[in-house]
Amino acid sequence: MKTSNLTHSRVTRENLLAFAKSVPGALIGLKVAALLLLLEGQRPGWIAQVLGLTRMGLNRWIRAVLVCILFFVSATVYGADYKNPQLLASPADIEKNKGKWIVLDCRDPKTTKNKYTGQVVKGYNDGHIPGAINLGGDCSEILRDDKSRVKKTEDVEKILGDAGLSSDKTVAVYGDTKVIINNAVGYWILEYMGQKDVRFLNGGVDAWEAAGKKLETTPTKLKATKYTAHVVKNRIATTEEVAKIAKGTVKGPQLVDSRSIEEFNGSVAYAKRGGHIPHVALHVDSVESYDKTTGKIKSMDELEKLYGKLDKNKRVIAYCQTGTRCALTYLEFRLLGFKDPANYDDSWIIYGNDESLPVEK
Distance CA 295, CA 175 (A): 10
How many Cβ atoms from other residues are within 10 Å of residue 146's Cβ?
6
Which amino acid is it at 267? Answer: S
Check residue 118 and give its pLDDT: 83
| Main-chain dihedrals φ then ψ at residue 246, nearest 5 degrees | -65, -35
Check residue 58 and give its pLDDT: 56
Residue whose C-alpha is closest to residue 345's, from 247, 250, 231? 231
Q: Which long-range contacts (CB under 8 A, 24 or more apart) does 207-211 make?
A: 207/90, 207/91, 207/177, 207/294, 207/295, 207/296, 208/91, 208/94, 208/129, 208/174, 210/294, 211/91, 211/92
Packing angle between helix 26-39 and helix 55-78, nearest 10 degrees?
110
Check residue 53 and give its pLDDT: 59
Check residue 204 and give its pLDDT: 97
Mean pLDDT of 160-182: 96
- Spatial strand order of the sheet with 280-283 comes to 236-237, 340-344, 315-319, 254-257, 280-283
Pairing outcome for strands 112-113 and 120-121: antiparallel
Check residue 165 and give its pLDDT: 97
Q: Are 333 and 307 in contact (CB under 8 A)?
A: yes
| Main-chain dihedrals φ then ψ at residue 5, nearest 5 degrees | -75, -5
Q: Is residue 61 predicted with pLDDT exceeding 60? A: no
Check residue 218 and give its pLDDT: 97
* 119 vs 34, residue with greater confidence: 119
Measured in Å, how far apart are the chain's first and last C-alpha atoms? 74
Mean pLDDT of 39-62: 56
| Main-chain dihedrals φ then ψ at residue 279, nearest 5 degrees | 65, 25
In degrees, rounded to 5, the angle at the alpha carbon of residue 323 between the alpha carbons of residues 202 and 238 is: 125
Q: Is residue 86 predicted with pLDDT exceeding 90? A: yes
Q: Cα dihedral sign for 301, 307, 311, 317? A: negative
Give Cβ neighbours of residue 330 (< 8 Å, ≥ 6 apart).
184, 188, 235, 318, 341, 342, 343
| Main-chain dihedrals φ then ψ at residue 171, nearest 5 degrees | -120, 125
Q: Which of 18-32, 215-229, 323-337 has the lowest mean pLDDT?
A: 18-32
Indicate which residue of 68, 106, 139, 320 is catalytic: 320
User: Side-chain half-sphere of 91: how many Cα atoms within 13 Å?
Assistant: 17
pLDDT digit string (tens) for 100-145?
Answer: 999 999 999 999 987 777 889 999 999 999 999 999 999 999 999 9
Check residue 200 and give its pLDDT: 98
pTM for the full predicted model: 0.79
Percentage of the chain lying above the pLDDT 90 cut = 74
| DSSP-assigned states of every residue in 70-118 | HHHHHHHHH-SPPSSGGGEE-HHHHHHTBTTBEEEE-S-SS-EE-TTT-
* 20 vs 123, residue with greater confidence: 123
3-state secondary structure of 292: coil
Local structure of residue 172 (DSSP, 8 states): E
Q: Which domains does the chain have, with CATH numbers?
A: 13-78 (no CATH), 85-231 (3.40.250.10), 234-351 (3.40.250.10)
- Please confirm, yes or no, whether 68 is among the known catalytic residues: no
pLDDT digit string (tens) for 196-228?
Answer: 999 999 999 999 999 999 999 999 999 999 999
Which amino acid is it at 231? Answer: V
Q: Which of 68-72, 164-168, 280-284, 309-313 has the lowest mean pLDDT?
A: 68-72
Q: Provide the mean pLDDT of the chain.
A: 86
Q: How confident is the model at residue 44 (pLDDT cuts 50, 70, 90)?
A: low
Distance CA 131, CA 189 (A): 22
Count of residues in the chain? 361
What are 105's strand-pairing partners? 134, 174
Q: Are 256 and 332 in contact (CB under 8 A)?
A: no
